[in-house]
Structure 1
Amino acid sequence: MIDKLEFFIVLARERHFGHAAEICGVTQPTLSAAIKQLEEQLGVILVQRGSRFQGLTPEGQRVLEWARRIVGDAKTMREEMKAARKGLSGHARLAIIPTASSMVTALTMAFAEKHPAVTLSVTSCNSLQVLSKLENFEIDAGITYIDNEPTGRVATVPLYAERYQLITSAGQGLAEREQVTWAEVAELPLCLLTPDMQNRRIINQHLAEVGASVKPTLESNSMIVLFSHIRTGKWASIMPVNLAETLGVEGDFRAIPIVEPDARHIVGMIAAPREPHPPIVSALLHEARIFARALSS
């Protein structure tokens, strides 16, 4: 039944029999037959069918919750027994919000030094995608905001507080100030992350709190793209302090703290809320706790 439950999870995620079959490495008839057999075993209809996938039935939604739990536990058991025999190995998958790209290197380097038999992949995406990927077993852990929007039932390790600076070039408005307010920043020509990014929603929130709004003249889902446009001298941006430092804001650039309010939001590592965690996830969470303690000391 485990294999059928895995097929069902992929189908629910992809919402397309053909795409799900391709990901599972089977033919579409094989996947369809497996789902049908699962329905017969459970005695309920799981999938609304027509000429194509039309969604899950209420029973299917409930079975999906059980499937994620059962498949997750089975995977954890297999991985724990493998680690007991051979030590930690395999592939660790992280998804991170773009603003965390400056700090993730320190964490992955420390992890890689301790676990050389584990390869790593790091994907940048928005906070909602981080949660979705975690829920659908596409990643082992994520790094995202843990205090600004609901994260659901997840295990969390707070890492650091994100604070914000105006990043601009010398000669631009406000460039010589020691600090600026959110209301003042709203008057500048800004390039910002796209609205689907939680960092952008945080910026919008703080502007709204002071009665200001912003219509950026350029948007991107890449912090590197934003930084390259600041270099032109025609745009300014709002970036977390740690990211600005990593990108090397110096020389002709200015990084000016934004106050009124001096906003802070917590970024942390999240993982599925199961105990015990798979060995790779446990190792990632352990490294996150060490990282957080080092920052706070």
Structure 2
Amino acid sequence: MHGDVLIQQLEYLVALARDRHFGRAARSCNVSQPTLSVAIRRLESELGVVIVRRGHRFEGFTDEGSRVVTWAHRILAERDELLADVERMQGRLSAMARVGAIPTSVPASPLLTDRFLHDNPAASMRIEALSSREIAVRLAEFEIDAGLTYLDSETPPGTRRFELYRERFVLLAPADEPIMAQDEVRWSEAAKLRLCALTPAMRNRRIIDGNMAADGARFRPAVEADTVGALFAHLAGRQLATVASHTWLYAFGVPGGLTARPMVRTGDGPAVGLIVLDREPKSIVAQALVTAATGVDFAGVLRDALDGWLEPAE
């Protein structure tokens, strides 16, 4: 017969899984390291399994421990849903909505944040820049409530999808580059420039690689980074260029000394939208995010921003 498992023990375990360090996990929980360690050892005793591999420092989880961590995320998520449902019945929502966003959607995320906080003024938002694969994993493990990500063959099963816009691509390059005198830029022509790009771990990069290959070019960027901010930081005054999602122009505009030209379009462009777990009962927080996202004209706002930055070629 197992002993009682306390919610606090699960919170400590989730903190350890997140921080991968006993000291940092304890600080994030506002307790001493011995308090956190004793609570997790007590949890192991009550469940009758070894959860944590220990040496001189944290060394990861056992197979049983990994399953316990997954259940801990789920139980805490259900606890949060209980509290959110009670709040909803009282006419308010004060929970934190956790959204994982692919880097190219982060610049458009304020459109979701503004509407969600307008609809739920007592709530708060956390936006984390994640790869599409990380979003799938963390959504399944109840570490986030929703994902802003590509809706394609890599979208995880067991989710509800809500398309918000179709991604368009533009070339940002120094205004004196001869290629920028064209109305549209071919992918193979852009590949000849010294380019910045997201890393291959990002779905956006894999899409760009595919477009380059389809036009007979091999994409070999001079600079790779895993955030949009890092790419923009490399553009100013360095004679570098990048193939950017049109969402970047909505948030950041065109850096000084550069100009923007549309890339030749290959179909309608990748679909980007909100995904949430398809489960019953539906998550109160996730449903509030769906209501907010589908209440905003993402496509129209982003299209207007793009049109405002695309100057006609001379």
Q: TM-score band, normalised by the shorter chain?
A: 0.7 to 0.9
Which residue does the alignment assign to 1:258? 264
Is the Cα–Cα contact under 8 Å of residues 107 and 248 in structure 2 kept in the other structure? yes
Q: 2:105 aligns with which of 100, 109, 117?
A: 100
- How much has 1:109 moved relative to structure 2? 2.0
2:248 aligned to which of 243, 248, 265: 243
The root-mean-square deviation of aligned C-alpha atoms, in Å, is 3.1
Deviations 1:39-75 (A, max 9, x none): 2222222222222222222222222232222221122
Structure 2 residue corresponding to 1:147, chosen from 138, 143, 152: 152
**Matching residue of 1:214:** 219
Does the aligned pair in 2 maintain the 1:75–1:278 contact within 8 Å?
no
Structure 2 unaligned spans of 5+: 301-314
For residues 115-162 of structure 1, the C-alpha deviation after alignment (integer angstroms, 9 at most, x for no partner) is: 222233434344344445545655433312232635465443222221
Would you say 1:175 and 2:180 are equivalent positions? yes
Match of residue 82, structure 1, among 81, 87, 90:
87
2:117 is matched with 112
**Of residues 164, 167, 170 in structure 2, which corresponds to 1:165?**
170
- Structure-2 separation of matches of 1:210 and 1:293: 29
Q: Name the structure 2 match of 1:35.
A: 40
Contact 1:134-1:141 at 8 Å conserved across structures: yes
1:8 positional shift: 2.0
Does the C-alpha gap of structure 1 residues 9 and 222 become closer, same or farther in structure 2, counting only changes over 3 Å?
Answer: closer
SS in 2 for 1:180: coil
- How many residues are treated as equivalent by the alignment? 295
* C-alpha distance in 1 between matches for 2:157 and 2:20: 22
* Residue among 66, 69, 77 paired with 2:71: 66
> Structure 1 residue 268: deviation in Å?
1.7
Give the TM-score taking structure 1 as reference length. Answer: 0.83
**Are the equivalent residues in 1 in contact too, given 2:188–2:212 (CA < 8 A)?**
yes
CA change 1:21–1:155 in 2 (3 A) is: farther
Work out whether residues 98 and 126 of structure 1, in 8 Å CA contact, stay in contact via their aligned partners in 2.
yes
Q: Distance in 2 between matches of 1:209 and 1:241?
A: 21
Segment of structure 1 superposing worse, 227-236 or 63-72: 227-236
Q: Which amino acid is 1:256 matched to? A: P
The letter of the residue matching 2:270 is H
From the superposition, tell whether residues 41 and 283 of structure 1 become closer, same or farther in structure 2 (CA, over 3 Å): same
Cα pair distance change 1:121/1:71, threshold 3 Å? closer
Distance 1:221 1:293, change over 3 A: closer
Asked whether the equivalents of residues 74 and 141 of structure 2 are also in contact (C-alpha less than 8 Å), the reply is no
- The structural deviation recorded for 1:193 is 2.5
Aligned equivalent of 1:282, options 267, 280, 287: 287
For 1:18, the equivalent position in structure 2 comes to: 23
| Secondary structure in structure 2 of the residue aligned to 1:78 | helix
Distance 1:97 1:128 in 2: 9
| 1:74-123 Cα deviation digits (max 9, x unpaired) | 22112211332351224333332221134222222222222222233434
Partner of 2:273: 268
Residue 175 (structure 1) shift:
1.3
Amino acid at match of 2:106: S
